[in-house]
Structure 1
Amino acid sequence: MSLIAGSYEKFLWGFKLKPQNTDPNSKTLTLIPLFSYPSHLSAITSVATAGPAAASGGSDDTIQLYDLSHATSVGSLNDHAATVTALSFFAPPNLSVPLNLVSGDADGTFCIYEADPFVLLKSLKPHRKAINDLSLHPSGKLALTVGKDECLAMINLVRGRRSFYCRLGKEASLVDFNGSGDKFYLATEEKVTVHEAEDAKLVCEMENPKRVLCAEPGENGLLFTGGEDRGITAWDTNTGKVAYHIEDAHSTRVKGIVVLKSSSGDVDNEDPYLVASGSSDGVIRVWDVRMAVKDNKPNPLAEANTKSRLTCLAGSSLKSFKQPQVGKRVQKEKHDAAKDGK
């Protein structure tokens, strides 16, 4: 498993989550530093990963690309004319590398890229003001965006155009589909709402004590949120109630949450469900969520201190770092998928 984090100090930090070798029976993990790049000319505002591919967006209006399998930078994209505020990869279940990258910026522009090679397919402007966040449907055929114009937009990625647009009444800072894509979540200040994806019908509302700054869907209808309350809350989105809470997970506000899933070659398949979090004081921690059910102040399984002001966090499963470069692997897997009629 790999984690990347962006910071105000222009640096991108990369880590690999591995078991400690001191005791084979121990479940203790460690975050091994992979790299730290001065990737942008100014603050990094968004990051995304999928398999060995990673991207970061900054207030220098650029997107930087990376190959995590070699821990190297592989180029940049310069199609935005404003701060890149949101990024997301689309990787089908039958591929270990992404097919597309989408991005949003502070000018309200939304870009769709092919991932191999990284070529701009379409640029459109679904919002009149800045795009705060975006989320890709698991099918890869549509995306949701929220912006400072207090509106929600749906983008048809097949046709490359906006297909739906509505006013929310309040500015939403976060939007995210659940794992199956039948529901989506909106975060507005302290409130998180759950909606049906088909007609945007409100399912339930969840009220956090303080402003929500990050959210990540988990399994079995769970949604993990973090923010100015410095804790991590797991919500049951079927009932709108708190499933469990990690109190004082960090000493400062939580700026990013990643739900990690075990895969062979990373950590033991019997390892628990893991959640990583990053805070504005530069600390990244990995938690065993089972312990949070028993104790609202569990000890983290792993911790790393970047000593920088983190702004965002992303992660993905990566079985081995001895892989072909991103472009060559994408070409091979696309060819194999087409040959099999997938």
Structure 2
Amino acid sequence: MDWIDEYNFIVGTYESFIIGYKFNHETREFTLAFTDEAHSGSVRALATGGKYLLSSGSDENIKIYNLRNNKEFGSLHHSEGLVRSMVFFDSRYLFTASDDHNLYVLKTGSWKLEKTLFKHQSPVTDVSIHPSGKLALSIGDDQKLVTWNLIKGRSAYITNLRERPDLVKWSPKGDHYFVGFCKHIDIYSVETTEILYSLQVSGRS
């Protein structure tokens, strides 16, 4: 599920559809805004930035939609594998994490490939951008957490994790980050890079 603004949200399904809803604050009800059979397999990732919605599927295709008219108008072919995670920064750049072991940075609108970041030795499963836009975090099936210096366009630090992570996210202020695993979520301090808290969860984080 991905929030678009205070009135809309979009879900991707295992049955290949993306479905958009609008929320009416007065009636407190959702109404169907659009549906599209975006892929020939399950939807694996969604990302929104400005007027754009991107959908990545298990068919290894990435579809581009214009949210102003809810129409598809293109696709991306920069990756050689399944894209598992996508995130916009400031609606100007798109970051994608791929099964081909790479992170890709594309310019929004022109969709020109600006940078390929390589450090993982296995599929990259999630990526998160620091609120300043100067740092990024990525995780992969190689059980590595990579800190990226986006100013220099290279890795700054690699942390070896004890198990395979499922997700990584920066806090809103960028002074902490979170790494989620199957049964727990670890909260790190940026200043010390040490775990401050570990929260146990009953299912996948």
- Report the TM-score, using the length of structure 1 for normalisation: 0.56
2:24 is aligned, of 15, 18, 22, to: 18
Query: Which residue is equivalent to 1:36?
Result: 35
Contact 1:152–1:166 under 8 Å retained in 2: yes
> Residue by residue, what CA displacement relative to the aligned partner does 1:133-190 show, whole Å, maximum 9, x if unpaired?
1111111222101111011001222332222212111111110001001100011111
Gaps of 5+ in 2: 1-6
> Residue by residue, what CA displacement relative to the aligned partner does 1:206-250 show, whole Å, maximum 9, x if unpaired?
1112322xxxxxxxxxxxxxxxxxxxxxxxxxxxxxxxxxxxxxx
Query: Which residue is equivalent to 2:93?
Result: 100
Query: Which residue is equivalent to 1:3?
Result: 9
Query: Which residue is equivalent to 2:63?
Result: 64
* Structure with greater helix share of residues: 1
| Partners of 1:133 and 1:62 in 2: CA distance | 17
Report the residue type matching 2:81 in the other structure: A
| Partners of 1:55 and 1:115 in 2: CA distance | 11
3-state secondary structure, aligned to 2:145: strand
* Structure with greater strand share of residues: 2
1:205 is aligned, of 198, 201, 205, to: 198
| Partners of 1:147 and 1:127 in 2: CA distance | 7
Matched, 1:183 2:182: no
Matched, 1:121 2:114: yes
Matched, 1:147 2:140: yes
RMSD of aligned alpha carbons:
1.5
| Partners of 1:85 and 1:203 in 2: CA distance | 28
Question: Greater relative contact order (Cα 8 A, min sep 6): structure 1 or 2?
Answer: 1
- 1:53 Cα deviation (Å)? 1.9
3-state secondary structure, aligned to 2:9: strand
Displacement over 3 Å in runs of 4+: none
| Partners of 1:75 and 1:111 in 2: CA distance | 18
| Partners of 2:68 and 2:8 in 1: CA distance | 10
Report the residue type matching 1:181 in the other structure: G
3-state secondary structure, aligned to 2:133: coil
3-state secondary structure, aligned to 1:118: coil
Report the residue type matching 1:137 in the other structure: H
Structure number with bigger Rg: 1
Shift in alpha-carbon separation, 1:127–1:67, aligned structure 2, 3 A? same
| Partners of 2:189 and 2:49 in 1: CA distance | 26
- 1:116 Cα deviation (Å)? 2.5
Aligned pairs (5 A) from 1:213-292 = none
| Partners of 2:163 and 2:17 in 1: CA distance | 33
Contact 1:46–1:58 under 8 Å retained in 2: yes
Query: Which residue is equivalent to 2:45?
Result: 46
Query: Which residue is equivalent to 1:255?
Result: none
